[in-house]
Chain A
Amino acid sequence: MSLEVHGLSVAFGSIVALDEVSLSLRPGEVTAVLGPNAAGKSTLLRAMAGLQSVDGGRVVLDGREIDEHPIGLRARRLCYLPQQPDVVGPFRVGDVVGFGGLAWRGSRRGSKAVREALAMVGLPHDEHRLYHELSVGQRQRVSLARAVLQLGDAGWMLLDEPLSAQDPGEASRLLHLLAGLRDRGHGLGLVVHDPSVAWALADRVVVLQGGRLVEEGAREEVLEPGRLESIYGVRFQMGPMGPVPMLRDASA
């Protein structure tokens, strides 16, 4: 089980979003992708999921170029979870989780499998609720339940800013869930804005800046306050929960 990118380049007109980025994810590990705004983080994640056409380089899933995998087989190995999941129509939560069984030709779409996946993400009684009634955090958990159904025992989950717009309680529940999925053998790649989130969850951290990969390593190496200052242009201090930006008190 492997997911690698080699020399990946993506441009939108004259704007270079990714410039020869190479990276590999590892099973049973969380890799956090950090960087300032417009650094190319989301583009990298979408390209790794086979959702973004690239101008150069390759994405290799389990030894084969990602586009060479039939779409159904690819879906059994890798899933992408956007920042704002949504569905058009009055679907129930159970329906949306059940979509994860599409690639398995229905064999995982049964009610029992859906209920088990929902129980795993802490929504055991919400199968029949309308999806549109859920908060963004609950929708993220529904997406995770669908991903569990979709990937089975182990696979790759690529999550774009899963903790943004979450209150601290929901963020904590999601962190716990993601750690549990890693422990079950899934390989996770996630875009995060907050270095303290990467500190709480990631095994490895990569940093993008201007479309180039500028840092890669264990979290203790990369999330060092001096390095973070050079990336974000603001001072950090190391607290008990990881690096924290020293924001000026603007209330005065």
Chain B
Amino acid sequence: MEHEGRSRSRWGGIVVLMVLVLLVVAGRYLLGRTIGDGGETMIRFGIPTGTVIDLRISAILSGFIAGSALGLSGLAFQVLLRNPLASPWVLGVSSGAGFGILLASWLAGLGGVWAVIGAWALWGAGLPAAAAGAIAAILVVGGVARRLGGFDPVGLVLCGVIVGAVFGAATMLVQHLVPNGVRGDIVAWMMGRIPELSPAWMLWGGAVMVVGIGLLGVLKSPQLDAACLTEDEARSVGVPIDALRRSLFVTGGLLAAVAVCMVGPIAFVGLLSPHAARLVVGPRHRLLVPASLLAGGGVLVFADAVRQLVDLGGGRLPVGVVTAMVGGPIFLALLLRGRAGS
């Protein structure tokens, strides 16, 4: 009876999450900025009209899909590394994707054949460039970790931190090389942005990918659960741990690349969403996978709504600033709570 009660309450948690996400989406749909009669920007809360409807829906879909991708990516890396504080940043995947886009932007400004390559890599909001950067990070981290003896969590984290630092330095190098005007665009992109007009194919493609991987995660949930045991125990109960880790590594990396492509390098959503989901539905992946998807999407749309409300004189806050300023303290609180718990 008690077990049935707990199971019901966890399904209830999914329903609560869905309701929260719907409220956040509704809030973002109604919330925006408008130009006043005197040319000043004002917060406007109300039902949008005309072309604004399409802009709002596109922004909500972009934010939700990218946030969902980050939530699932974070969950994949947390299972892969057996560490609840892991995120796409830990393995350098987000840094790699970001560097790919910036490198392509720089090449596009050089002229000649480089410009052609840069323009091609920036096709579709920079998907080829972001994917190439993320895949490069995956190949380097995965290759080095393999030579260290397999997909061992400690080896992966060590390689990921180094690769992330190298991509970070390379990103700064590109910033140094580009003209001043472009540098401003790059800085703005690195702070994250939720586009109000995304191509339909990208929204559809992102949605299909996120939902497909989410369903796959639910199907594989018994293995994901048992993979939380120690490595030897997981193997012993029948988890094909090497194949599972490879899949988590590649899937988590691709999801992070798609998210970077859509909204730029946004921190903390991939870390915090699985945590929030775990608090609501517990650790079993049958519910945790869809809950992380919902939480990731909801958190990013919520951050996008918050930034509409804050203007410190330079226009709306960049969404990456909102997620980092809220997510950073929450991360530290989680760290302290984990230390106290242990």
The interface of chain A, by Cβ under 8 A from chain B, is 46, 49-51, 71-72, 74-76, 78-82, 84-91, 94-96, 99-100, 102-103, 106, 109, 111, 127-128, 132, 143, 146, 150
Contact = CB atoms under 8 A, between A and B. Distances in A.
Contacts of B2: 128
B82 A99 contact: no
A165 B233 CA distance: 19
A128 B236 CA distance: 24
B238 A103 contact: yes
B237 A103 contact: yes
Nearest to B284: A95
B236 A86 contact: no
Q: Which of B225, B237, B278 has the most CB of A within 10 A?
A: B237
Given A90-B278, A102-B222, A79 B236 contact: yes
Contacts of A103: 237-238
- 4 smallest CB-CB distances across A and B, nearest first, come from A75-B238, A103-B238, A89-B283, A80-B236
B236 A88 contact: no
Contacts of B236: 49, 51, 75, 78-81, 150
Given A80-B233, A111-B3, A102 B223 contact: yes
B203 to A, nearest CB: 33
B82 A74 contact: no
Contacts of B233: 80-82, 85, 143
Contacts of A106: 222
B34 interface: no
Contacts of A72: 238
Contact of A102 (B232, B237, B278): B237
Contact of A71 (B82, B228, B238): B238
Q: Which of B2, B3, B6, B233 has the most CB of A within 10 A?
A: B233
B282 interface: yes
Interface in B212-263: 222-223, 225-226, 228-230, 232-233, 235-240
B237 A75 contact: yes
Contacts of A146: 237
A188 B258 CA distance: 50
Contact of A46 (B6, B226, B232): B232
Contact of A128 (B6, B230, B240): B6
Given A99-B237, A102-B237, 6 more contacts: A79-B236, A81-B233, A82-B233, A91-B228, A91-B283, A128-B2
B282 A87 contact: no
A46 B236 CA distance: 10
B195 interface: no
Contacts of A88: 82-84, 228
B228 A150 contact: no
B237 A86 contact: no
